[in-house]
Structure 1
Amino acid sequence: MKRLVILGGGESGAGAARLGKKLGYEVFLSDKGKLADKYKEVLEELGVEYEEGQHTETKIFTADIVVKSPGIPDKLPMIVGLRERGIEVISEIEFAGRHTDAKMYCITGSNGKTTTTLLLYHILKEAGYDVGLAGNVGNSLAAQVADNLHRVYVVELSSFQLDGMFRFRCDTAILTNITPDHLDRYDYKFENYARSKFRILNNMRAEDLFIYGYDCDVVRERVEQENIVPKAAGFTYSADNRLNAYMDGNTVIARWGERTFCIDKKEITIQGRHNVYNAMAAILAALKAGVSDANLRKGLTTFPQVEHRLETVEVIEGVTYINDSKATNVDSTWYALDSMHAPVVWIAGGTDKGNDYSVLFDLVREKVKLLICMGVDNKKLIDSFSPICEVVDTHSLEDTMKVASTRAVSGDVVLLSPCCASFDLFKNYENRGELFKEKVRELKEFCD
């Protein structure tokens, strides 16, 4: 019996354990941290041996194959040691992909990938497709392959997941954009990070489709320089009708094959330039999938807001509170500020990832009346923006909300778009967003 070792016991790890048991592997799961109770229950129900709070190398190095959580760096001595011993180390997505022939619609990019993933899934589901949602959103792909197999999957892929994928093939791949992010995992070399994103093209065939953001210089230049095997379809916010998706005034036009689909951007439920990009990518993928015009329009006009991504929480005494906690890098915040049409009280801060804030300066001058820095150490933000707008330094969500509610007036927007990771004050960006929404709703109750 072959031995499967799983490193990391979250959603992907528990899913890999479920698939491994179904395939007849001897399964052992190891997590350096503490396992959540719901995942312990899954492992115990499956009869999987596991450990938490440590990695026992004598048990790990006996593996025939290892499925590694994307959060574990490849440079970790234990991972290096596994590979030196010739033990294959792969991601959960790679493991699942080896055991299904379902069609894979996969999305990556520095920004926009979650919204694009959820939008495409919504369109296909509303159109009646047998479709599953997996990757960074939805349930584990491996668990679904084991117990709830669909004919089509829409999969959000991070660069970390792509790094652990070797034989996996996308039928349709979307690359939204590439901007500096996670450089600490890539030797602080942007080229390494960009190369990781382009791994989404691995193993694709001439009949497959690669959809890419033409307006991103890094993506466009690589597409033009490299020999791209699948058919390539670019999308742009400009009126360049040489591309497969482009703008004609306020109308989004998308073409694939002999079909052309048009929709006024105001009809799409999610607004802002960044969401036009997301919609274009999803439309092109849906056209490739054969979704009818009527079902495409239905999907685009019924798609709900994405949690933690420009999510309107409440309007209190004329002030609109927006949760954009998922904006953990500069580019995401650029799109958030660009979509604002009212004076902004901007809340930013957290764990800086080597950010260059200069690309935000013009937008901040134009749109921001007050920046509230919320973090343990806000020096870099303060130094960067003090010459441009008024800045207030806070070190807790409570203090931040006091300042925001005092300074914002009717007609203003209070925008949480942090530009930074959340780990200094919060567990993750979801936790940051949830707590922000709680505080906003408490404020509404008080004002009512």
Structure 2
Amino acid sequence: MKAAKTIRRQLLVGLLAGLVLAISVAGFATYLKMRHETNELFDYQLKQIVRSFPANMVHQKSETPDTHPGKKIVVQVWNQQRELVFTSNAQKNLPRYDGRGFFEVEVGGQRWKVYSEENEHQIVQVGQLILDREKIEISLALRSLIPFFALIPILGVLIWLLVGKSLQTLSHLASNLDERSADMLNELSIAGYAPELTPIVLAINDLFKRLDHAMQSQKMFVADAAHELRTPLAALKLQLQLVEKADNDFERQQSIARLHERLNRAIHLVQQLLTLARQGAVSEHVGREKLNLQELARSVVSDHAFLAEQKCIDLGVEAPDEDVYINGNRESMHIMLGNLVDNAIRYTPRDGRVDVTVSFTPEGPRLEVLDSGAGIPEKDRTRIFDRFYRGEGTRESGSGLGLAIVKDILDRHHAMFSILPGAGVGGTGLTFSILFK
């Protein structure tokens, strides 16, 4: 299994690679500069050797041993009669050249750098093997690079130590998180952390806050569900006992009918509980897509057409010819509108009317559910979105979760909603208005 690359190792490798590249570029530039300077120094040396000879020399013979370093430089002097009067190395004599100043020549397969001057009395010519010059130049240039490359291991150790010290705050953060229990969701203190780690600590604190809210909501949900399920289950058991005690077929049939009614109510409650739990787990940004409000309204109305027919309720859709779109989760929006239409049908008397309208306003897309029912008393309007709350005197069966689910979905979609009493069909009932941004 391939070992994971740590941040420390990645920083070390990255910084060292950058340093080696920078040092290499600087070293190469220094190398070229050093060779240029050394070459100029050698040229200056040749020029000084030429000018150090007396102006009027007589015949002389060099007795310099062959192994002397001076043999690498050949000095020759000719008098006015073009006779060779001096040579520093008879074995490596160069031809006399007519050119003056610096120039390069090739003698016996070897390249020479030559400098020549002429005065009224003589010609002085000095030559040096270019190969010897280059060896010295390269040697000096390479020696100048030693300090550069000696810094690499030193800098590597310093980087390793400094990066390790800088990452200690991450280890401190990891230790703080590791010491916490699963239910310890209080915020971390940002004191003592580097500014670069502050956003991470703040993000963790925000996550803790959301987890704490989710856990509290889950605890409340479980407690409320247990409480609400206890009553219908007890009623089912009681109704079953009544069926067992029935004296005749008529009483038994009535008891069985009530048993079916209570079973349907319990099934509806469980379905709403599951819907609420499922919607609570849906993220705000998961499954979002472009939705056509007209198609959504027609689909929901079609699903509830049979229920409306049973109560002789006129159920329809009013929408403009142009399509109105929103960005949302298709399943969540279908559940939300379905609950609103279901509530409107349930609480609208027979021969009533329920309309779903779609429009596009200057503020944004708008969806409304209007009914001709009795409306909602003013004292109940502040609590109708609470879980398991059902107003007093309500005859229709329900779980008290429908509007809680509606509010949860709309909050996740950042939609604004309001209830307008007395603004329903025929001036009665109410209008549930939703504005999407």
The TM tier, using the shorter chain, reads under 0.3
Q: TM-score, with normalisation over the residues of structure 2?
A: 0.17
Select the structure that is richer in strand.
1
Larger Rg, first or second structure (1 or 2): 2
Q: TM-score, with normalisation over the residues of structure 1?
A: 0.17
Select the structure that is richer in helix.
2
